[in-house]
Structure 1
């Protein structure tokens, strides 16, 4: 890996190596496979450097990427003075992150769009755009944490975790040679569909656990933290949730042609799931229909959750969702050009939907 911003890399090294056993360290991570894997990797880097585990692990709801007042108050009450974020575009609304700077040093490692460069004396702000030429959407945060952590301590035994996070985020295109080495190292068969591999199966288990109940994210973190290899993950309690999630996803896939709205290159699918399956469903459909703008919308909850995909990037999904949400009270959107999400209060959903279709049709011309 070629790092072009040496000053930023040196700031990371200084931050992570200066953490002492006396420091109060918190790690917050996103809830998807990349978020969980990146959180585990950076937490293990901290433990190996200072000889002590992190003091606090946090996750918010999967649709929440910015720091909430609840998280802010928790950090303050736990007397946290070192705060690490992974796979969260918290710079989209940095209000509480700036307040955290008053009592903690901050390290943010993320691969989403840069909304605000939060680099300051108190914050080390790391995104791929700032230190390499790799497409941020294809550089999973788990891989970032693995590459950065490897600069200060040996974490070569955690390569499988970085692979799981990368596969889970469909962020493998630039890393074919690296992945091939890992599959060879563990004597594993590599399939064209990486989700059929052992690492891909681990990613599915993490995703299924989260889809079943967001409270399972802590369980997923703990399982991965204790795991010596992918084998421990595959035989863990995480497998208990997969069948129910798979069954629900397959039900919606079978009903797609009859219940989704198709308009040229747009597939718009409103569902009422029992579990939180809109995101994995949209990922599956996005891969199946790479030249379509795919939206899976959970209309059973308030706020309404929208998950969008566009594999060929002819439409930037994050921009389309952000524009559709603009000016709508308490609506938010974010993510990558190929995959993004949004939440909209139910009373404004019709307005959002009309806007989104107008935006997509305008971009089509």
Structure 2
């Protein structure tokens, strides 16, 4: 891809030279989904190849409160001067509220969520739109973004399997199928009709299972993945978390019994002890790309809150745009993401309003 934002790239190159000559403590914070973990792994290994080591690495478990007391303590105790993030929307992470505590720290951000209108000068911001002029950021996952950017500095072909896992997991296969298919062929793996059925996707699936099981399983799985030098090693190490699959498959077979149909919108009420909303809605949406799936379930920590995973794969409906309008009309609701894949939360008591408003706004887009 052709770099558009050469100014930020030049600043990044300057930072690299400074870090190579005078190393300072670095902190990497990555999101806790397969794209976030994959992009973090690619970034860490790419920097290692050019002589830069990451001092500390943290999963971004609290996306809306990233810089909590625990994180701030780690930053202070380790004299962190630069924080690198992957697949995290820094501007909805609590960063803006903690700027005073984070004063003097350089941020290097790799992300594909909605780009802010203004980026502070202390942040080196890499995003598909400003960086490459790629308009549909939802189809340019952070794994691919980091892979493309850092490939300008070092050969990353041995990490194409990691990038491919992030691409498939973030439902970006249709855009980057050439890279994924080439990787599958190189690894002598079959190219499946549904990318989620490929052996590479299984690595991402097992990783997802671990991430939604509990914090202990998530930590262990992330370490296994970061320490794996091949997809085979990752698959073998992560297979222990396949226990969630029975529950997942049960819902894949029986979801229609819990569905409510509204033309090309289907609401699915998921009741699982695991947080499978995201991977369930993604896989379900590939069965019929022209249908909008709204998968919802009670929040595991607060049953009065509903969690939503929303998907529409044909790109004809902008789910993120709908949610942006809704959060202004439903008190306490949060939501956002990408055109084809987004998430939301609202109070259980507001669900009737959520459904009514979503269907209205969805229909309005259909008529355009």
When normalised by structure 1's length, the TM-score is 0.90
Q: Are the structure 2 counterparts of residues 259 and 128 from structure 1 closer, same or farther at C-alpha, using a change threshold of 3 Å?
A: same
Q: Residue by residue, what CA displacement relative to the aligned partner does 1:193-226 show, whole Å, maximum 9, x if unpaired?
A: 2222221111111111112224433323211221
Corresponding residue number in structure 2 for 1:75: 75
Q: Is 1:143 aligned to residue 144 of structure 2? A: yes
Q: Are the structure 2 counterparts of residues 177 and 290 from structure 1 closer, same or farther at C-alpha, using a change threshold of 3 Å?
A: closer
Contact 1:92–1:115 (Cα < 8 Å) also in 2 = no
Matches within 5 A, 1:209-288: 209-236=210-237, 238-242=238-242, 244-288=243-287
Corresponding residue number in structure 2 for 1:304: 306
Matches within 5 A, 1:1-365: 1-20=1-20, 22-50=23-51, 52-61=53-62, 64=63, 67-70=66-69, 71-92=71-92, 94-96=95-97, 98-99=99-100, 101-120=102-121, 122-134=122-134, 135-236=136-237, 238-242=238-242, 244-299=243-298, 301=300, 302=302, 303-326=305-328, 328-365=330-367
Unaligned stretches of 5+ residues in structure 1: none
Q: Residue by residue, what CA displacement relative to the aligned partner does 1:134-188 show, whole Å, maximum 9, x if unpaired?
A: 3312211111111112222333322211111111111123323333332333232
Shift, 1:14, TM fit: 2.5
Q: Distance in 1 between matches of 2:174 and 2:190?
A: 18
Q: Distance in 2 between matches of 1:325 and 1:47?
A: 42
Q: Distance in 2 between matches of 1:7 and 1:185?
A: 36
TM-align CA RMSD: 2.3
Q: Are the structure 2 counterparts of residues 187 and 355 from structure 1 closer, same or farther at C-alpha, using a change threshold of 3 Å?
A: same
Q: Distance in 2 between matches of 1:79 and 1:137?
A: 34
Aligned to 1:19, the other structure's residue is in SS state helix
Contact 1:189–1:197 (Cα < 8 Å) also in 2 = yes
Contact 2:310–2:342 (Cα < 8 Å) also in 1 = yes
Q: Distance in 1 between matches of 2:73 and 2:320?
A: 30
Q: Distance in 2 between matches of 1:352 and 1:282?
A: 18
Contact 1:44–1:53 (Cα < 8 Å) also in 2 = no
Q: Distance in 2 between matches of 1:153 and 1:171?
A: 24
Contact 1:36–1:220 (Cα < 8 Å) also in 2 = no
Unaligned stretches of 5+ residues in structure 2: none
Shift, 1:343, TM fit: 1.8
When normalised by structure 2's length, the TM-score is 0.89
Q: Distance in 1 between matches of 2:19 and 2:295?
A: 42
